[in-house]
Chains A and B, each alone.
Chain A
């Protein structure tokens, strides 16, 4: 038992307890609900930062802050085994920060039944924290589902345009993806004969006697496509832009920013270490499908007229980089992916939040009906430009994203030379759609539609309540960009101790 292990447990439990509390304090009025829920989001941040500060990067690949709770299912090898290693810790911190920003933003929203909305969001947050803290892969899966179900509910109830269709489509796709990966995880459990879902036990067991190649091949395929659907691998991505376009923004922030990383995280921490030979059978698949993510989806993003859908497509596009970095199977490539997951989580959450703030002022997501917003809301414009620049990997606001991208590019070049030309072309594509969006929303003259909508809803610049969640994300983004070592040291150590990644590094 580690000294601070209980903080990991609290980070998961606090949002869930707060979720139920919001329902109880509802009768005390809106402020009580807001205070309880924001506390539920804020405490995990404090815990996570604390754990980050006390994490010892020298723990050799192993987990720190480990705890093992009884579940009564020990006879089938399931235990609530929690802990953090160098890869999961940065994501754990990122999840808490994005959660706080999303929570702060949701708490001031005009959603009907605010307490239920926050209830869903807090449950989701509890699940998210659990995903990255689980060492037991069945609980890893369970926490993902715990976070996923409130997403569907939130899209269906508080969603925007097409919410029913979007909720249905998201449910079908994501359940399918989750099922495939569950079958894959169970296959590993059954075939390994380790009689445990514990990742550390499984790893040790499989290092002694690896699975047969055919098993590795099929189990990896299941996990790849199962996780792939969850991460919006092309062409299984169509749920994402639609779903994010319809989802209420806090749900979109948490899903696109954090929950979506479940699949990548599963590949990095579970699938590849447990099935080291599996990748060999599938890497050509990944290469071609990920190119679809970057080039095809990138071009589709250019054709978007709806701001939120465009951001959705751009986030799908960035997942292509992540898949390629993973396919490279080196500390550099996979480390770049983890770094990018952290940076992308912050950035995309920021963009979804800011686009909703734009919507509050223009009453539309149609970019052709906006224009000239920068004059009326300069602060919003500045933040939006900053976020968009971060998203397209411009060093400065997007320094963290840039580090992730360049690591991936370098790894991809060593993996397949020719691939790098196609992949780097992505930086031009993303610049095109990103800057088009900025120009049509904020620059130029005001459109007639926008002038019309201002008569009904006068435009004001950002209030401080809006600025706080934005600033939280931006500050963390800048910090990681300028001091990347704070994150990369632990990632590097964790990956170096993983034989499957370290061996490629000669």
Chain B
């Protein structure tokens, strides 16, 4: 049996599940959830089979042909795709299980699980796609499923606005992505990733050209949109309007990381100039969203900005690692997997574990607190929800990079090591970002879990059932052990091992020292600044202007709202007005008017009065005479 059948199966399970739910079990939430979870289980099993039993392979079948344009539908399963498949299938399955509990009483459960299946279908297709166009097709589809799930709570206007925003902002990124794809085809005549990488490895001078830099940056636009990089990050925090399991799966662990995955897939065509831009976009994103997270009150918003910030790390890691590889001072023995791919994918993997866990944990809290999301109205949850507390804490320790014992430490360390080698300014910025991370997570932790409850919801909170806590426990294992190579099965190691190698590079001690210091400072400052279960934010009183800047998210949303309302909409209305008045009013009616006037004029010629005809005749003769003798 051909390997591709398993890949097809991977797409078929969620597709059939979504179709069945849409047409048969729309009203039956129980069956729908069962079908969807069964599909997720089959996906996990099939993905594991592909990862462990099958060699890397590529499979293509002609999809469409028109003139010179030819696209194949196909799968490209290599080490990178296998690692990503593992993350998607594993986290996806756990989120499905968790959702069984979280969405238990929702009347629209069927729609939710149908949406999850559509998402799994699209995401798996994206991961396996062998050509840029196929990847783009699934890329748009994950965007659609994300749109559908963000707007899940139909009656809420804020959810409607958030889903719309997510889709449109992503489309802005896709504008560049699509242009990049068009340029690639025009320059190289193929969309196939393998053929493209062969072209580039065959002709290294290509990486010196400005047009290739342009291609790289246009493709990167896709990442900027999907992975919430500056300045298109604004949709991701708003996307938290969706149900929390969706935030965990789509807006933390997998879909938003697809942008980083895209970079890794197309890493071979990134020039030095493009990579430098990529690094700086990543660094700025990491810092700006880190600052923003400091001043948020909504637990999901804090986590969302933290996600944006960590995605910035991954993007920067990709750029740094590739730069190091290009400059020749690094890991050339691994021709396919460069340092950039390794460092960013390593962090992507560990982040998927601990961020999904943090979101599911916050979901568990929100569920228990009757949909209270303000951390200043929680407090004292550590005692009421012990499993949630402990698993959340483990994930939190991983996120802030607690030295030596957590996965986040190693993956972040690898990034810092690359930065140290490449650019000291970037290094200091990223270390400072790590400090911010430690700060805002400690703040969240102390305020929400300790002290006494500050709202009725928090007071009545109690631990959720096993359906919700078992996924938490499983993910916490990954959050801690995911930093060690031996945790991963043999087949997944090729990428992780380079990531590890980076973390244990020559400057290891210095880098770890700086990272550890950032961790300690952030933690201690936040710990002393915020009393257990504080009722209000002390930062707000002490550094008011700065706090406002952070709480208002650096005014990005204001800027965009202003642009949409004051510029875009006004142009649209003006054009509409001009069209109504000038085009249909003056010109068209004007023409009709002229015709009408001519009608009146001509009618007066036919008055039936013999004298009038004589006058016209004489007048005409005069004009004729004047014309012939040249008076006019």
Contact = CB atoms under 8 A, between A and B. Distances in A.
A375 B156 CA distance: 11
B572 A302 contact: yes
Given A413-B186, A431-B168, A445-B155, A395 B68 contact: no
In the complex, which of the residues B64, B138, B155, B583 has the most CB atoms of chain A within 10 Å of its own CB atom?
Answer: B64
B160 interface: yes
A431 to B, nearest CB: 4
Contact of B157 (A394, A411, A427, A444): A444
B160 A485 contact: no
A172 B175 CA distance: 38
A470 B588 CA distance: 37
A375 B63 CA distance: 38
Interface stretch (A182-190, A206-214, A349-357, A402-410): A402-410
B64 A485 contact: yes
Given A395-B136, A427-B175, A414 B186 contact: yes
Contacts of A489: 65
Interface in B54-84: 62-69
Contact of A403 (B22, B64, B143): B64
Given A238-B583, A413-B183, A421-B179, A488 B151 contact: no
A169 B62 CA distance: 47
B144 A410 contact: no
Nearest to A492: B66
A316 to B, nearest CB: 11
Interface residues of B, number: 55
Contacts, number: 148
Contacts of A406: 69, 133, 178, 182
A485 B62 contact: yes
B178 A424 contact: yes
A10 interface: no
Contacts of A402: 137, 140
Contact of A332 (B26, B68, B140, B157): B68
Given A407-B69, A439-B160, A484 B64 contact: yes
Nearest to B153: A443
A444 B133 contact: no
B576 interface: yes
Interface in B563-583: 568-569, 571-573, 575-576, 579, 583
B141 A395 contact: yes
B144 A238 contact: no
Given A396-B141, A413-B182, A335 B160 contact: no
A428 B171 contact: yes
A302 B155 contact: no
Contact of A485 (B65, B185, B576): B65
A443 B154 contact: yes
B584 interface: yes
A302 B148 CA distance: 22
Interface string A303-343: 11000000000000000000000000011110110010000
A488 B159 contact: no
Interface in B142-175: 143-144, 147-148, 151, 154-157, 159-161, 163-164, 167-168, 171-172, 174-175
Contacts of A30: none
Contact of A428 (B168, B182, B186): B168
B86 to A, nearest CB: 26
A239 to B, nearest CB: 9
B563 to A, nearest CB: 12
Contacts of A395: 136-138, 140-141
A492 B138 CA distance: 26
Contact of A410 (B138, B140, B185, B576): B185
Contacts of B68: 331-332, 505
Contact of B154 (A304, A372, A389, A496): A372
Contacts of A333: 67
Nearest to B186: A413
A88 to B, nearest CB: 17
Given A238-B588, A420-B179, A300 B579 contact: yes
Nearest to A496: B67
Contacts of B65: 485, 488-489, 492
A339 B613 CA distance: 61
Contact of B67 (A303, A330, A438, A439): A330
A443 B151 contact: yes
Contacts of A403: 64, 66
A414 B154 CA distance: 44
A435 interface: yes
A435 B167 contact: yes
B67 A331 contact: yes
Contacts of A172: 592
B154 A374 contact: yes
A432 interface: yes
A340 to B, nearest CB: 11
A294 B22 CA distance: 35
A427 B160 contact: no
In the complex, which of the residues A339, A372, A403 has the most CB atoms of chain B within 10 Å of its own CB atom?
Answer: A403
Contacts of A428: 168, 171-172, 175
A431 B186 contact: no
A389 B157 contact: no
A491 interface: yes
B351 to A, nearest CB: 28
Given A428-B171, A428-B175, A488 B569 contact: no
Contacts of A385: 148
A444 B67 contact: no
A233 interface: no
Contacts of B174: 427
A444 B156 contact: yes
Nearest to B145: A396
A332 B164 contact: no
A495 B67 contact: yes
B575 A300 contact: yes
A442 B63 CA distance: 35
Contacts of A396: 137, 140-141, 144
B66 A335 contact: yes
A457 interface: no
A298 to B, nearest CB: 9
A242 B580 CA distance: 11
Contacts of A432: 168
Given A424-B175, A505-B68, A410 B575 contact: no
A386 to B, nearest CB: 10
A129 B63 CA distance: 29
A438 B148 CA distance: 12
In the complex, which of the residues B111, B179, B572 has the most CB atoms of chain A within 10 Å of its own CB atom?
Answer: B572
A436 interface: yes
B161 A431 contact: no
Contacts of B156: 444
A33 B588 CA distance: 40
Contact of B584 (A238, A374, A420): A238
A485 B63 CA distance: 7
B161 A439 contact: yes
A443 B67 contact: no
A495 B68 CA distance: 12
Given A395-B136, A410-B182, 10 more contacts: A238-B579, A331-B68, A336-B66, A375-B155, A395-B138, A402-B137, A410-B69, A444-B156, A485-B64, A492-B66
11 contacts: A172-B592, A302-B569, A375-B155, A399-B137, A407-B69, A410-B182, A424-B178, A424-B182, A444-B160, A485-B64, A485-B65
Interface of A: 169, 172, 235, 238, 242, 296, 299-300, 302-304, 330-333, 335-336, 339, 372, 374-375, 378, 382, 385, 389, 394-396, 399, 402-403, 406-407, 409-411, 413-414, 420-421, 424-425, 427-428, 431-432, 435-436, 438-439, 442-445, 484-485, 488-489, 491-492, 495-496, 505
Interface of B: 22, 26, 62-69, 111, 133, 136-138, 140-141, 143-144, 147-148, 151, 154-157, 159-161, 163-164, 167-168, 171-172, 174-175, 178-179, 182-183, 185-186, 568-569, 571-573, 575-576, 579, 583-584, 588, 592
